[in-house]
Amino acid sequence: MKVRAHVLSKITSTLARHNINASALKAFDGLELADSDYQSLAPVDILLGSDCVWTVFTGKKLFDSQGKIIAISTIFGWVITSIVTTGSSSTTTMNTAIDIDASLRRFWELEDVNQQLHRKPENDEVEQHFLKTHTRDPKWRYIVELPFKDPNKQFSDTLQGALARFNEVERRLMQDPNLRSQYRQNVQTNLGGCQAL
């Protein structure tokens, strides 16, 4: 059986065991039990999920005189079920009380819209910039101009640098016909049939 396992230092705390009368197990003499040391406390070695349960069972079952299943065969050995144990069982109940009125009051106090917001002037400027400059493209995506702290920002002359790079690309394409053909094909594919070099 293949399983995806998570190796943990501890799966669960030691579980309480009920004492089983040895005479109740006489009917199972000769069966190889999945847990041969069932009377002693021991840590859990492996915990299989419900997705593995049908792979573990081999299909053999033993029944009591009333037709109830009392033993099931697994790939690990026989698992005994339905044995009545003596002794008291304990039940733990946990209750919690919630004051709904107080919880609702706290919720409304947190959600009070009349609270004064402490806003920075820069945040107001950014919001005003968005309201003045945003548009939507045909696919309904927002387009917003980039804000500058200095509205009259002077950029250096970038035209000469752009022309120099363009001319260098043109020279490389004229020297390499294969690269030029690939470039043309790419431009025509991506720009919807525009003419390139």
Residue 4's CB is within 10 A of a number of other CB atoms, namely 6
- Contacts of residue 184, Cβ cutoff 8 Å, sequence gap at least 6: 196, 197
pTM, full prediction: 0.37
Grade residue 167 by pLDDT with cuts at 50, 70 and 90.
very high
In the chain, the percentage of residues whose pLDDT exceeds 90 is 5
59: left (phi over 0), alpha (psi -120 to 50) or beta: left
Q: Tell me, rounded to whole angstroms, the distance of Cα 76 from its chain centroid.
A: 33
Question: Residue 1 corresponds to which tokens in the numbers above?
Answer: 């059986």
On the question of pLDDT at 139 being above 70, the answer is yes
What pLDDT sits at residue 168? 93
The string of pLDDT tens digits covering residues 58-77 is 888 887 777 776 788 888 88
